[in-house]
Structure 1
């Protein structure tokens, strides 16, 4: 990490003639890219991106420069280093459209921000298309039949097949082929953002700006609109979706040589909504079932309820009977209930006591009379305490947390811990038990065990709503 920040500081000095005042690492998203906020004199700031996927960087930089020629709301590139793994871009702040939605709810202000986003999207898609060099695309240059089939198969292999639902394989594949052919028969193919969600829309002084479009390619206008309006976490009301779709059709028609056919556009839009919903479920299944990342499993119920709403009210203008049968099963209460975590009600007596400790000082005792509980040994994780700058810090300091999350196997370790503890917590809630103890030990009880104990506490509170008590035996802070 020190090498990366040194490189950022050097790039800043080469660009602005002075060393930055400070560099602060930003929370990491689902990608491997690392983001930093760089502070300079006179309140000057910029976002620094480090990414050793050089082809992805080249794509983002190419798309950005092209879109800026059409006055699209994307960041300016301030500097790129010689190796191409680090660049500086405009800082739009920390507030996304999703943040404002979660804070304000379904207010007029939020609705107008969605309208502004769709208007600027239409401009980016249609006017931006004329300047895009599609040879720079990361994968295929067009979201055509093969790309649609790929998303459908992604859903099939990583989600549908995990449900063990009996279906006619050949009939389903035939339906996939028919749907993908139908959706590619559109005259309106322009630049497709590919991941147009409210978390990728930054809001600064009530103006929207777009980030993270390096996955873009040529494709149907409907896909990006579907991505925004049907984002599971946003959970927009049906009335908003209908009104915003009508607004987008009007706005896109302003940029096109001929107005859109609203009925045809909407029928194909519904098909792209379905593709997007299934692509998300496939991603959740892959990250959750196969990569064992617990946070993705907890997102599945919301995505399924989104699918349930869609299958109950939308029509695509094409008959795909076996596919419809599979979708009805996926959106059924039976399947949704499989993924809904058991929640501890207000009357649940269960209290989970989580403790960090040092093996040098012995195992923790158990005052509940149950004789103890889980004990997890964190000493197999690389020890931040061996690094000079971390010696006086703990697992609650950001620098230590970044090290454990990005340079050790702690994330995989915790996913396995979550799987084991979740079984017992669920069972104890059902049986009305009152006490469970979980302990994390490391050499000094300062870094790894502290981080792991806090992480499990957050996980159990979020997933089960259970009462949690945290004690860091060798430290002075406790919850």
Structure 2
């Protein structure tokens, strides 16, 4: 706080007469309102991630240069952990449309006009904002891609779907997820994907003109995503009629900036992203609600499930993923319990199983539907990362074969503040470890041992092998090592590899080639 106050004093040439700490948002950033002797105000920001701050500062300067409605960054500390920006006041779109939200989606004319004005401004930042933008400054990644989509879909699977207790075939679902991810990323779009476009991140000036904030997670990507994110936000409870009107307003506004696809194509593509966003938010609600026991997120699940039910009524040709859609249908048919009493580690907080019918394979499901793996098939390798403080991972196969490697002899990025909130999957940590080089020398020897062992297990017809990497917290070195060994084995031998970053609650399946 002292450093932020000094940044203010250096910029203004005087000390503030008052400092007000503002309510926290969803991130780790802290916001303060500085007041000068004339009553003028400036917002001061303290962040924990230099890379995230850098992304916001770069994007804000770029958008300001293109005369887009965003706050202006006024001063930045040398380490980019603190900065000052113009004060847009306290009036957000979220607060301005509170009445319609509390009236169960019955928005009055003024509230609807605010929504129309906002959605018509969205293409401006998406298209104008993308012009001459250097995407390498985006955080945590420059582009919406298949890997990011699969991460979010698996977040839904592990944090929501499994918590319901619904039985499903993981390989069949994974195959449909991959086809879904391919379709979502199939259309090239040179536009700015805001990613967190929601009413809380829209500020209104005295004339109710919208200003955009909190776009530091943006990247290159399809403009459909933000429309789906904004209009299908579960708690907003927009009616079908109002949504249709706002989609129409957005589509016509988009025409002012780019050549648009046909209405039918636009609506069908948008439907894909609505489904994706619905699964995305259910994953978040599941984690925050079922596991962290936060009531707000538990209360958000029923309206999100209502959104999902509405999507399932659309033309099934829009969603050519038979197994996934069959599973989602069964999910929506599971009656919710009215009260949650079981502890966070127990099964099925909110739903109970009502349908145990076996899904009949469909030719569109992909190769996993007809997988030869039945627990007696070819070699499957399990690769884990873990913290030694919490014990060595169990062997799920029961065979007890494999290796445990200790990564603690290598340089630990977790000792340094910029990396404490990141993992070995994040680019800054990867760069740190690879620039240092110790982890590469360590893995060279691991690869030699692993290659020989995998080859002999394949030759002998064994079905299971496990490699585990431990470090102090199971966050940086072990995660990096496990991920790279898994990808190395998968690339070299083409076999199925299961990756489990235990302390990060991240799982991945690299399917047999």
Relative to the length of structure 1, the TM-score reads 0.67
Residues 329 and 116 (structure 1), Cα distance of their counterparts in 2 relative to 1, 3 Å cut: same
> Any conservation in 1 of the 2:166–2:331 contact (CA below 8 Å)?
no
> Any conservation in 2 of the 1:288–1:294 contact (CA below 8 Å)?
yes
Q: Which sections of structure 1, spanning at least 5 residues, go unmatched? A: 343-479
Secondary structure (helix, strand or coil) at the match of 1:46 reads strand
> Any conservation in 2 of the 1:13–1:20 contact (CA below 8 Å)?
yes
Hey, what does 2:167 align to over in structure 1?
166
Q: Distance in 1 between matches of 2:290 and 2:188?
A: 38
Hey, what does 2:93 align to over in structure 1?
97
Hey, what does 1:63 align to over in structure 2?
59
Note the C-alpha offset of 1:72.
Answer: 1.2
Secondary structure (helix, strand or coil) at the match of 2:136 reads helix
Q: Distance in 1 between matches of 2:135 and 2:217?
A: 11
Hey, what does 1:320 align to over in structure 2?
321
Pick one of 236, 239, 242 that aligns with 1:240: 242
> Any conservation in 2 of the 1:298–1:341 contact (CA below 8 Å)?
no
Q: Distance in 2 between matches of 1:340 and 1:195?
A: 31
Q: Distance in 1 between matches of 2:180 and 2:227?
A: 19
Hey, what does 1:125 align to over in structure 2?
126
Q: Distance in 2 between matches of 1:311 and 1:216?
A: 29
Hey, what does 2:217 align to over in structure 1?
215
Matches within 5 A, 1:73-472: 73-103=69-99, 106-205=107-206, 206-256=208-258, 258-313=259-314, 317-332=318-333, 334=335, 337-338=336-337
Hey, what does 1:44 align to over in structure 2?
40
Secondary structure (helix, strand or coil) at the match of 1:330 reads helix
Secondary structure (helix, strand or coil) at the match of 1:42 reads coil
Secondary structure (helix, strand or coil) at the match of 1:19 reads coil
Residues 316 and 64 (structure 1), Cα distance of their counterparts in 2 relative to 1, 3 Å cut: farther
Deviations 1:153-209 (A, max 9, x none): 110111001111112222211211121112222243411000100111111121101
Greater shift in the superposed pair: 247-256 or 183-192: 183-192
Matched, 1:19 2:21: no
Number of residue pairs matched by the alignment:
335
Deviations 1:217-240 (A, max 9, x none): 111110001111011121111111
Q: Distance in 1 between matches of 2:178 and 2:190?
A: 20
> Any conservation in 2 of the 1:297–1:339 contact (CA below 8 Å)?
no
Secondary structure (helix, strand or coil) at the match of 1:82 reads coil
Hey, what does 1:376 align to over in structure 2?
none
> Any conservation in 2 of the 1:47–1:91 contact (CA below 8 Å)?
yes
Deviations 1:320-373 (A, max 9, x none): 111112212332351xx236669xxxxxxxxxxxxxxxxxxxxxxxxxxxxxxx
Q: Distance in 1 between matches of 2:319 and 2:337?
A: 30
Relative to the length of structure 2, the TM-score reads 0.62
Q: Distance in 1 between matches of 2:309 and 2:340?
A: 18
Q: Distance in 1 between matches of 2:315 and 2:203?
A: 30
Note the C-alpha offset of 1:316.
Answer: 6.5
Q: Distance in 2 between matches of 1:80 and 1:165?
A: 50
Q: Distance in 2 between matches of 1:17 and 1:45?
A: 14
> Any conservation in 2 of the 1:158–1:285 contact (CA below 8 Å)?
yes
Deviations 1:74-100 (A, max 9, x none): 110011122321111111111211111
> Any conservation in 1 of the 2:99–2:107 contact (CA below 8 Å)?
no
Q: Distance in 1 between matches of 2:190 and 2:277?
A: 17
Q: Distance in 2 between matches of 1:33 and 1:207?
A: 25
> Any conservation in 2 of the 1:200–1:210 contact (CA below 8 Å)?
yes
Secondary structure (helix, strand or coil) at the match of 1:65 reads helix
Q: Distance in 1 between matches of 2:8 and 2:140?
A: 31
Note the C-alpha offset of 1:42.
Answer: 2.0
> Any conservation in 2 of the 1:167–1:322 contact (CA below 8 Å)?
no
Residues 340 and 113 (structure 1), Cα distance of their counterparts in 2 relative to 1, 3 Å cut: farther
> Any conservation in 2 of the 1:300–1:339 contact (CA below 8 Å)?
no
Secondary structure (helix, strand or coil) at the match of 2:203 reads strand
